[in-house]
Every structure is written in C-alpha cells, then in structure tokens.
Homo-oligomer: A and B are copies of this chain.
Amino acid sequence: MSRDLDISVCIIEDDETIREGYAYLIGQTPGYKIAGSYPSFEDAAKKIAQDDPDVILLDVELPGISGIDAIPKLKKLVPDAFILILTVYEQELLIFRALGNGASGYLTKNTSPEKIISAIHEVMEGGGPMSAHIARMVIHSFQRNEASPLTRRETEILEQIATGKSRKRIAQELFIDLETVKSHIKNIYHKLNVHSKADAIKTAKDNKFI
C-alpha cells in the first residue's frame, strides 16, 4: 500500500510519553503516517517545512514559545497544514485565541484514540473537530443575554454606535430624528450607568446585551 496517499501528521508536544503515544497511535493506523515529532516549536521550526505535513497536532503548553503563539508561525512555515490543538486547557480565552490564530480544531486530552484519528480525518474533509464542551463554549459565545435591560430600539441603536457611526448617520439610516437618537442614548447610558460611548459599548459587550 502506497504511503504517499497516507495523511501525514506532525506532533508538537513536550511530554515524551504522550508524544510517543500519539506517534504510535498514528503510525500503526492504516492511512496515516508520522512526518515528524517535536518537543517544542523551536525544534519543529527547523524541519517541519520539509516534513510538509497535512495535519499538525499541537499542544498549548510548550517550553519556549507557547502553542497558541506558534500557530501563526506554523501557518507561515506550512501554509496548507491544518492545525489541531490537543490540550488539557479549556479556558475560553485560550480557545478563542487558538481559533483566532488559525487552528482548525480543538481537542481536549481525554479524547479517545479513535476520536483523535477521526478528528484528523475530519479536518482533512473540511470539518472543524472540537470536543463537546469546547463546541458548547464556542456556540455560547454567539448568544445574547436574554435579561438585557435595553429595549429593542435601544439595543439596535447601541449596535449602530458600536459600528462607529455618528448619531446623525444613525438617525438618517433609521429614519428618525437626531433628537430621538439622542434620547435613546441618554436612556441607554442611564440604564447601563455609564457616561460615554466607549463605556456603554464595553458594558453591553461584557454582558452580552449586544
């Protein structure tokens, strides 16, 4: 069976036991092969371009440069590789930074061997594999706070303000008078207990009112 058609995988993970466990898992699975395996980004940087992997399994807690910060650099070295984060960390900030930096999937380390293999396959097929809890957090990030004190119109106007539009322009686009927009804004400020555009936007975003 030709190994050229196999999906080639690189691993960047500092824990030797885990790294070799993954390498063994992937190496013995038909259709998959290991192109390289490194304990840090610095080590990977030298050779990974030649490895030319299809998928990179990346840990977030690495010695030296962190996995999160390594993502854009890996993208430059191997632009067509998919990066799959594999980590114990489930902090929202980390997840969103990883995805924002260009990761195509995010798995936690309790993921079963079969699921890791299927995630590698899935990412090659245009999917975005995530552990269940991660997926929920990602979905949750799209959702609004139902208990907003703002009325529908106030919310609409605050959203417009958050796009940088002036009150005058908002008035024109909503076909209402500038004075009306000002009234709404005053009410918004009172309800949110703020005294400026920036603070209103911040409070509203923090509380998912917009």
Chain A interface (Cβ within 8 Å of chain B)?
72, 75, 96, 99-105, 122, 125-130, 132-140, 142-144, 146, 161-166, 169, 196-198, 200-202
Contacts of A132 in B (CB 8 A): 122, 125-129
Copies of this protein, total: 2
CB distance from A164 to the nearest CB of B (A): 4
- Can you pick out 29 interface pairs between chain A and chain B where the beta carbons lie within 8 Å of each other? A96-B142, A99-B139, A99-B142, A99-B143, A100-B142, A100-B143, A100-B144, A101-B143, A103-B139, A126-B136, A127-B133, A127-B135, A127-B136, A128-B130, A128-B132, A128-B134, A128-B137, A129-B132, A138-B139, A161-B164, A162-B162, A162-B164, A164-B196, A164-B197, A164-B198, A164-B200, A164-B202, A165-B198, A169-B198
Contacts of A138 in B (CB 8 A): 128, 138-139
Does B200 contact A139, Cβ atoms closer than 8 Å? no
CB distance from A107 to the nearest CB of B (A): 12
Contacts of A105 in B (CB 8 A): 139
Contacts of A136 in B (CB 8 A): 104, 126-128
CA distance A202 to B140 in the complex (A): 24
CA distance A135 to B103 in the complex (A): 12
Nearest 9 CB-CB pairings of A with B: A127-B132, A128-B135, A128-B136, A164-B198, A128-B139, A164-B197, A99-B142, A164-B201, A165-B198
Contacts of A96 in B (CB 8 A): 142
